[in-house]
Structure 1
Amino acid sequence: MHTLQTYRQKHHKIIALLISTLAWCMLTTPAFSQPDTRVIASTEVEVRINQSNQALQLRYSTTVRLEQVLQDTLANLHQLPVKHSGQSLYWFGSMLWRSDSITRQVMKEQQSAVILQLQQLALQVRNKKPETSHSLQILANTLSAPLPGQRIIQSLDRDWVRISPDKNPGLNGQFRLQVITRPETVKVFGAISPPNVEDSDIKLSWQERKNATDYLQQVTPLTISNPDYLWVIQPDGKAEQHKIAYWNRNHKDIAPGATIYLPFTSLPDGYESLNDNIVDLLKQRPY
């Protein structure tokens, strides 16, 4: 009887030891032995040339480098019916946007906020400054065109992208790429006498070595325009302040496809950030 009890006690100890060993093994199983259940998102890039409505769709199963996207764009651009008369592509003015639905909605809200500011200010000054009010309303109309998304400000020059790892980011998600041929114009916005149309960009012929002051001579600044400086958004999306007063002006080149913005001054309380908001919005617009 004593022998049987001893056997049962030993049997129970062995079972307990096996259970505890099994539990320890389950707790300490290496993470890499578990199956990877993560979902890797695909990447889609919609490619357009100039202002064409026709688009080329590039699709990738996972993250893709910008260099590969540019290479595939060049390899497949012939599929678009748009003819560019043998002109080479103007990478300095080509644009890349993140264009997923969430990003587009965020940009739409920012755009709407700027347009609302312009419309409200136009109403405030309508009686005392009708010409300024008209200019503000036209600017609001022009900036209301839908945006492709949020622009990624970086060089799209294939040589720079290929040799510089920091200029060759991985893209994951939805994007839009606009490649363009070199334009022969610059656009002008801001505190200038309004044109005869209600929602059209003002384009001036680009000329080599012309500076901001030269272009301003072709338009009529409003009395509330900034007399000291304006903003030039170069085709690559970088904004530069160019001085235009007789006492501080210095020559800075303006590239084909640039956007010139003449800021408003004497803005009422609550509109202090309006000029900066407009410049940020102009960076996002396709040329």
Structure 2
Amino acid sequence: MKRLPFLSACLLLITSVSQAAVTVTGDVQVPGPVELPPGGRLTDVISVAVPNAESYWLAAGLLRQSLLEEQGRLKTGVLFDLEVLRRTALLFDRPERADLALRLHEQVSRMPVTGRQVTVLDPVAIEVGFAPNVLLGDGDRLIYPLRVDEVEVLGAVAQPCRLPYVVQQEARDYLNDCPSLSDAEADYLWLIQPNGATRRVGIAPWNREHGQVPAAGSKLLVPVKNDDLDPPIPELNQQLAEFLATQLAEVVH
């Protein structure tokens, strides 16, 4: 009789493990929850869901329960810095900068905390060992979207733009069709590829980087100038880019 509670606990543990699942949505042959075996990895889920070859594997997203808290803190930090920027801009009599900070604050506020992990989700690359076969957890999600032939430009622009994707066009050249504001940092932009990889790119004559080409579905963040304020907010644009990288096409507002 004394062993019953222990046996019950073991049975409960076994049941909870067997019920662990990862949900797969988007352009896959078998969408829905996939039972996750103990120690289950990406290949265990992908082999059941079978993403279609026509889906845009580069923009696929792995949303992790374990990353929600960390990314929630990132979002809070970005919102805090934007509010500091707004107040500081008002103190320095830069009302246009304050309005931009408020607009960005409203945009980020509407964006969800996704828990997206930056990793390669190409089924072939994972299968042959060219990409990590990531260990998964209960409640994680996989999303395989359709291709979107656009590049989105955000940040210190008059209005966010969705521009037609142009093969091999440099990141800086998209700004010709989505002009920056006078409150933009003119020397750089942030390139956020559809897989979540993020890079600061030099675009001024003195630091211009060539070969920085967005893929279809990328985002370009035009950074907000703040080094002329006291105090400056040096990490604002990088953290904003990192948070934008967690967003998927299906959930960006």
TM-score interval (norm. to shorter): 0.7 to 0.9
What whole-Å deviation, never above 9, does each CA across 1:35-62 have from its counterpart, x for those lacking one? x969464532222328xxxx72223242
Letter of the aligned partner of 1:106 in structure 2? E
Q: Secondary structure, in 3 states, of the residue corresponding to 1:57?
A: strand
Measure how far apart 1:217 and its partner are: 1.0
Candidates 106, 119, 131, aligned match of 1:141: 106
Superposed counterparts of 1:89-100, under 5 Å: 89-99=55-65
- AA aligned to 1:64 is G
Computing the radius of gyration from Cα coordinates, the structure with the larger value is: 1
**The one of 230, 246, 259 aligned to 2:205:** 246
Matched, 1:225 2:225: no
Matching of residues 141-160 of structure 1 within 5 Å: 141-160=106-125
Distance 1:247 1:117 in 2: 29
**CA distances 1:215-247 after superposition (whole Å, capped 9, x unpaired):** 111122122322222110111111123221134
Residue in structure 1 matched with residue 48 of structure 2 by the alignment: 72
Aligned residues: 230
Q: 3-state SS of the aligned residue for 2:242?
A: helix
For structure 1, list consecutive stretches of 5 or more residues without a partner in the other structure.
1-35, 78-86, 196-200
* Residue 45 (str. 1) matches residue 22 (str. 2): yes
Q: SS at the partner of 1:173?
A: coil
Contact kept? 1:154, 1:236, Cα under 8 Å: yes
Cross-structure match for 1:262? 222
- The normalised TM-score by structure 1 is 0.71
Structure-to-structure mapping, 1:125-140, within 5 angstroms: 125-126=89-90, 128-140=93-105
Cα deviations by residue, 1:129-166 (Å, 9 ceiling, x for unpaired): 23222222222222223535322211111111001176
Report the CA distance between 1:180 and its aligned residue: 0.7
Query: What is the letter of the counterpart of residue 48 of structure 1?
Result: T
Is 2:250 the partner of 1:273? Answer: no
What corresponds to 1:29 in structure 2? none
Gaps of 5+ in 2: 1-8
Is contact 1:43-1:64 (8 Å) kept?
no
Q: Does 1:58 align with 2:34?
A: yes
Partner amino acid for 2:116?
R
What CA distance in whole angstroms lies between the structure 1 residues aligned with 2:161 and 2:175? Answer: 12
Distance, in Å, in 1 between the alignment partners of 2:83 and 2:33 is 37
Matched, 1:105 2:73: no
Residue 181 (structure 1) shift: 0.9
Give the conservation status (yes or no) of the 8 Å contact 1:226–1:263.
Answer: yes
3-state SS of 1:232 partner: strand
